[in-house]
Structure 1
Amino acid sequence: MAILLGIYDNLISAISNFLKDIKGNLIFLIKFSIGAGVGIGSLAFLIKWLLDKFPFFISFFFLGAVIGGIPALYQKTKESSLRISSVLYFLLGLVIVISIGFIPTGNIDVSIGSGVAHYLMLLVTGVVIALALVLPGISTSHMLIVLGMYDSMLLAITKFDVIYIGILGFSTLIGVFLVTKPLEWTMKRFPHQTYCIIIGFVVGSTSEIFRDKILPAVPVNAGFGWWIPSGLISLVIFALGYKAILVLSKFSND
């Protein structure tokens, strides 16, 4: 969404060059954070309710929204015709995201333990979270689950474990600053390659929608009586999501 609205580059620049214009960058980041907070606060419960009640159909809306953003992303590559190199970079991003989705969960658990080593692992986890937050299409929640941190983080928040939350938040902040600088450099130096990979990331993220939302919502004994009406409704909802993003992308700051 940040890319579609034309603020992704500015967002990355404001973080990576924060000390060069502290006042200007701080104002920009505060505005962004307020907007994000209002959006989350006003829509989170509605979206959760819709996903709980109608996971199959609502997931197709999100799927349409993701696909609808691809034309605007492709414009960022600044190329007039499709090249073989574009396809290769796209496939690289696609394979990376899909591969992350198949990392087995439960084999790693950095939430276990105590002492200095445990808190060092929290610092490493923060950097991983930052990477997932900054790069489009990479699921932060999945990375937390892979690291065995998802449940422990929610528990720390509910129990208001200040030390745990503080270390994880601080390490994530450090990670964001570490990740954004090289990302900004690649976006300026190699915009074509970088955005082709990002398109791969975004398209690859649709596999999680299918795996975690759409497929589990299909009834075990679904027949033509279920598939025909559900398929038609899903196509309509997919088109709505696709169209919504196309309309939204017209308000880009680019």
Structure 2
Amino acid sequence: MLKGFIIGSSMSVPGVSGGTMAILLGIYDKLISSISNFLKDIKGNILFLMKFCIGSFVGIGSLAFVIKWLLEEFPLPVSFFFLGAVIGGIPALYKKTKESSLRISSVIYFLIGLILVISIGFLPVGNFDVSSGTGVTHFLMLLVTGIIIALALVLPGISTSHMLLVLGMYDTMLIAITKFDVVYIGILGISTVIGIFLITKPIEWTLNKFPHQTYCMIIGFVLGSTSEIFRDKIIPAIPADANIRWWISSILISIVTFVLGYYAIMSLSRFSNE
């Protein structure tokens, strides 16, 4: 429940996806397994997912707003804290590759993951709009959108909010939630759940069959996701007329928060098997 709480509260941070935090906290494999093998142990999987979901919802409903406010008021130190957290989780991720030394193939798979996530971050917003239309076509597009959302939720390093913006669904979804559009939210929710069940099985297979290649690519996903923090938070927070005093104070504070984030996730990763 505590890990679910941390994952839920961090999902509002740009560049930090739920999948990324789940991996850094050592709960990703268990989440994937409990969904893909749901019918093998229905009672055990329901209990596990229920505890995780309770923690996540509490995190989203409480600390998410605090983190969002901190990002708006103190974008540089808070962003560097999460950068430190992402970097601090890399050693634990590499241990999962089950390799003691780097190989050329390791670098290749890492670069594939890195380039893929950075490329997704540069997809133009507004070129697609699946929120318009009526009738059967509209509902079919909602089903497809739900599957895409599931892909963004399950794969680490891919921002769900960015994918919604690319698909032209972000504003429409917020309006549907505020207006309690049960039909719209229901179809999107069901299609997302279907997408999650469809995606988790092949992900579990690749994690078990090719752990080295998969986790090298995931490391690329995770590091690539930090580009969104730089693009959306750090760069816009630098004033055009920044003086030497501002630079010195900002750099010193950011170094401190980066180190705090690094050691925070390093400490949490020690409990990855608990």
1:172 aligns with 2:192: yes
Structure 1: distance between partners of 2:59 and 2:38: 24
Which residue, 236, 247, 250 being the options, matches 2:256? 236
Which residue, 96, 117, 131 being the options, matches 2:116? 96
Aligned twin of 2:43 = 23
Structure 2: distance between partners of 1:168 and 1:118: 11
The residue type paired with residue 100 of structure 2 is: S
1:249 aligns with 2:269: yes
Structure 2: distance between partners of 1:30 and 1:96: 32
Q: How does 1:46-125 map to 2 (within 5 A)?
A: 46-125=66-145
Over aligned residue pairs, what C-alpha RMSD do you find?
A: 1.0
User: Bigger CA drift: 5-14 or 194-203?
Assistant: 5-14
1:33 aligns with 2:23: no
Instruction: Give how far 1:38 is off.
Output: 2.1
TM-score (norm 2): 0.91
Which residue, 170, 177, 190 being the options, matches 2:210? 190
**Structure 2 unmatched ranges of 5 or more:** 1-20
Structure 1: distance between partners of 2:148 and 2:98: 30
Aligned twin of 1:202 = 222
Structure 1: distance between partners of 2:25 and 2:160: 21
**Structure 1 unmatched ranges of 5 or more:** none
Structure 2: distance between partners of 1:9 and 1:157: 31
Aligned twin of 2:32 = 12
The residue type paired with residue 222 of structure 2 is: V
Structure 2: distance between partners of 1:153 and 1:245: 32
Which residue, 128, 151, 155 being the options, matches 2:171? 151
Q: Identity, % of aligned pairs?
A: 77
Aligned twin of 2:234 = 214
The residue type paired with residue 94 of structure 2 is: Y
Aligned residues: 254
The residue type paired with residue 2 of structure 1 is: A
The structure, 1 or 2, with the larger RCO (C-alpha pairs under 8 Å, 6+ apart) is: 1
Structure 2: distance between partners of 1:31 and 1:107: 39
Aligned twin of 2:182 = 162
Instruction: Give how far 1:202 is off.
Output: 0.2
Which residue, 112, 134, 139 being the options, matches 2:154? 134
Structure 1: distance between partners of 2:53 and 2:241: 45
TM-score (norm 1): 0.98
